[in-house]
Structure 1
Amino acid sequence: MLTTLNHETLQALRDNSARESVELDFKSDFNADNTDHRRGLIEDVCAMANARGGWLLLGVAEDPDGAIAGLPGIQFANADGFRLRIGQMIEGGLEPRLAGVRIECVPADGGRWIAGIRVPQSWTGPHRTAGGRRFMVRADARNTEYDMHGLRQAFTARDQATRAWETFRDDRIARYYAGRLPLPIQPGPAALIHLHPLGATTPVDMASATAAPEFAPPENDGRAAQPNFDGVIRKGHGGEAGWLTYVQVFHRGVLEAFRMLDPQIGGNPGLVLPWLQRDATGLLPRWLAGLQRHGVAGPYEFAITLVGVRGQRPLQDARGHPAWGVATQEDTLALPAWFIDPVEFDGAQSNALLEELRVQLHRAFGRDGIQSRFFELQ
């Protein structure tokens, strides 16, 4: 499937006589002031979101067999205004709202444009059109309306994916408290970092995962990987007395990182959140690249859970500087999970995710999070 839209990708589609499919739809004409055109666009976006996601290309003509026949483009005044209007149209046209839509515009001949609407597969649906209350879904190269049986299955599939992720996370938290994580760990507060595929996956080749640099934990120092019942464990920092870091690669593509957060310096216990910042920003892009390379398609849930943190306060840094904020009264801080579409994820979204995480952590410890950079006190 397309990852971006530009002159090269459009020419490649034309050279290959690309056809409409479950993930690709063409419209030779579109006028945002035309009621029928607007309704048709919303139905197309709804249908793709309820299926596998894909691209709706405006200004692309097709032949009777559904193959590209030309790139006539469509007319609008400027790209920024068009993107804003279409984005607002989609935002108000679907129930529930659909996040992650991207709109790209490529200049065509005669001052016209090819517009591409990148529709993500949704895990917050099924969606329906706000005007006609129609639950649309894309099958092959056409849109249909869910029947009662299909609609029931769509709601069930969404709930099952959510339950599977929540059950997995709860199990890993319970294993920490029961001392049943895949390696013996040093006692104390820690973080569990998870990236969990939401869709069906094929098993990851463990021989390849054993050597994959994307799955190496921080402070790996070249330690050998160790197979276990769940997949393979990539050891980080630590030893027989207990490990401080590791990465577990599960057979079905789930990834788990463990990180101790208390440096235990000079009798001044606390949480070194900059360590968590470094791991989160370092692991996530590598993990996404590694899972894509191993055929584990997104989207994913990414989440961080602090465990064993009752009575703990964050330290300014790993050198044992004074603690800040108030001590948490909870054993576990399960921070909200982030939905990540790997096609859409870039540096800007990575920074936004990290900023949201920082704010959540500061609030957990009685700080508003405004006067500090990421997790470190200024």
Structure 2
Amino acid sequence: MIPHARLDAVTEADLQALIDHGVRESRTLDYKRDWPADRDARTELAKDVCAFANSLGGDLVLGMREEGGAAAEIVPLQFANLDADLLALTSALRDLLEPRVSGGLHAHPVPLANGGHVVVLRVAPSPAAPHRVTKDNHFYARTSVGKEPMDIHGIRHAFAAGTALGEHIRAFCADALGRIERRENPLPQLDGPLCVCHVVPVSAFSRQDAHGVDALAVAGNALRQAGDAHSLRPQVNLDGVACLPHRENPRRDYAQLYRNGAVELVYGDLLFRSPADDTNGESLFPELYEKPLVRRGVPAIVQTLAALDVAPPAYLMLSWLFPPGTRIGYETDQGRGAYPALPAHLSQLTAPPVYLEDFGADPLTVLRPAFDVLWNAVGVAHTRTDFAAADPD
């Protein structure tokens, strides 16, 4: 794969570097000199897309001649209508695979100084794998020497691995929540209701390599601004690095960046006593974590993953830990305060995972369905937080 987590950051200089360094085709990188203009050529390219989607993902570089498997020369591609041709190709490739690769297939045209383009097709490892090519009904996998049809044992393994991937991610998040409950987290003195956001890249479990602590420490600097409590520099711990709040800061938010590239944001200090609450009790006000997550949290995670060269897709999971009977505070349409209690039997709640096909989506659009789950538990259809309102000084 070309070393850029953001596909739109790939430039002609990056393509030239592949040639200068003799970068060879691999399990995550393939070169194609010509544009697939006809049906047969697109079917052949669909086999490569299928193999990447069924394996570790990767980049197909169209407009690059190879010699002995190494990048040798840029061969500019010419288009009468670039946008239409890219759309036609990606649509054809999706239609040639079953199940369709609805997300995780993106085309980036790289303009060349002397005219023409090179097109980089980035294929993400697919959570819906294994896929097959409908023209020949074969399942393909990517190896170090190229694509190859799977045999029956490979197909069985692929189906099992596809199911296991989602289970691994859910188990990872559940284990992390359990450690927070047992106060085995980086900030064990954290009290009160907590909102926990996990973003787990698919590559965290589809690949076996781990990030070194030096790279984690550099990338994790972006997480210092993820919450309202501006944090200390990333500190190395057993799981990777953590950004903890200054001791004198009253807010108790923290961020953990794991060795596998997963990110954990935890928002505490969520209880507030409203003057309008005649019970004189404290309630959990969701805007205390919803606004920071939208405005700073998710953007900081995206910046961190980009610094680690971690590519999408990923799963976002939002969870809450709270004492039974915790009340939710918000303002009604009539301008009055409401303080309904969460069901007494609940002390933990997790929203269904949100699949992130890419990291450029609007954070509020991504997070709204997850936010709504806690509100649904007290009979409110959607979050009542006014995201357009400015924070008070």
TM-score range, shorter chain: 0.7 to 0.9
1:264 aligns with 2:273: yes
Alpha-carbon distance change, 131 to 246 in structure 1, aligned in 2, over 3 angstroms:
same
AA aligned to 2:51 is A
The residue correspondences of 1:313-324 to structure 2 (distance < 5 A) are 313-315=328-330, 322-323=336-337
| Whole-angstrom distance in 2 between the partners of 1:229 and 1:58 | 42
1:117 aligns with 2:117: no
- Give TM-score, length-normalised by structure 2: 0.74
- Which residue is 2:189 aligned to? 184
1:84 corresponds, among 84, 87, 98, to: 87
| Whole-angstrom distance in 2 between the partners of 1:204 and 1:285 | 23
Superposed CA offset, 1:27-55 (max 9, x none): 223343x2211211111111112222222
| Whole-angstrom distance in 2 between the partners of 1:104 and 1:180 | 43
Alpha-carbon distance change, 331 to 91 in structure 1, aligned in 2, over 3 angstroms:
farther
1:46 corresponds, among 42, 45, 50, to: 50
- Which residue is 1:161 aligned to? 165
- Which residue is 2:40 aligned to? 36
Residue 54 of structure 2 contacts residue 130 of structure 2 at CA under 8 Å; is this kept in 1?
yes
Residue 180 of structure 2 contacts residue 188 of structure 2 at CA under 8 Å; is this kept in 1?
no
| Whole-angstrom distance in 2 between the partners of 1:337 and 1:183 | 26
Greater mean alpha carbon deviation, residues 117-126 or residues 13-22: 13-22
| Whole-angstrom distance in 2 between the partners of 1:35 and 1:230 | 49
- Which residue is 1:140 aligned to? 144
Higher relative contact order (CA 8 A, sep 6+): 2
Superposed CA offset, 1:159-207 (max 9, x none): 33322221232234445566665513333x3211223333434265389
- 3-state DSSP of counterpart to 1:89: helix
- Which residue is 1:56 aligned to? 60
| Whole-angstrom distance in 1 between the partners of 2:63 and 2:190 | 58
AA aligned to 2:162 is R
The residue correspondences of 1:241-260 to structure 2 (distance < 5 A) are 244-250=252-258, 253-260=261-268
| Whole-angstrom distance in 2 between the partners of 1:17 and 1:27 | 15
| Whole-angstrom distance in 1 between the partners of 2:212 and 2:19 | 35
AA aligned to 1:21 is S
- 3-state DSSP of counterpart to 2:157: helix
| Whole-angstrom distance in 1 between the partners of 2:363 and 2:298 | 9
Greater mean alpha carbon deviation, residues 221-230 or residues 147-156: 221-230
| Whole-angstrom distance in 1 between the partners of 2:104 and 2:372 | 22
AA aligned to 2:327 is Q
2:366 corresponds, among 342, 353, 360, to: 353
Residue 363 of structure 1 contacts residue 369 of structure 1 at CA under 8 Å; is this kept in 2?
yes
Alpha-carbon distance change, 374 to 324 in structure 1, aligned in 2, over 3 angstroms:
farther
Q: Report how far residue 121 of structure 1 moved.
A: 2.2
Structure 1 residues not aligned, in runs of 5+: none
- 3-state DSSP of counterpart to 2:18: helix
Residue 219 of structure 1 contacts residue 236 of structure 1 at CA under 8 Å; is this kept in 2?
no
Alpha-carbon distance change, 232 to 94 in structure 1, aligned in 2, over 3 angstroms:
same
Superposed CA offset, 1:120-152 (max 9, x none): 222331221233221111212421011222223
2:222 corresponds, among 192, 197, 214, to: 214
1:9 corresponds, among 4, 14, 39, to: 14
| Whole-angstrom distance in 1 between the partners of 2:219 and 2:80 | 52
2:244 corresponds, among 235, 238, 242, to: 235
Greater mean alpha carbon deviation, residues 124-133 or residues 264-273: 264-273
| Whole-angstrom distance in 2 between the partners of 1:92 and 1:366 | 41
- Give TM-score, length-normalised by structure 1: 0.76
| Whole-angstrom distance in 2 between the partners of 1:352 and 1:176 | 27
- Which residue is 1:66 aligned to? 69
2:292 corresponds, among 262, 268, 278, to: 278
- Sequence identity percentage: 26
| Whole-angstrom distance in 2 between the partners of 1:51 and 1:114 | 24
1:21 corresponds, among 15, 23, 26, to: 26
| Whole-angstrom distance in 2 between the partners of 1:272 and 1:302 | 18
Greater mean alpha carbon deviation, residues 164-173 or residues 101-110: 101-110
- 3-state DSSP of counterpart to 1:122: coil
AA aligned to 1:157 is A
Q: Report how far residue 326 of structure 1 moved.
A: 6.8
Q: Report how far residue 351 of structure 1 moved.
A: 5.4
- Which residue is 1:336 aligned to? 352
| Whole-angstrom distance in 2 between the partners of 1:375 and 1:173 | 31
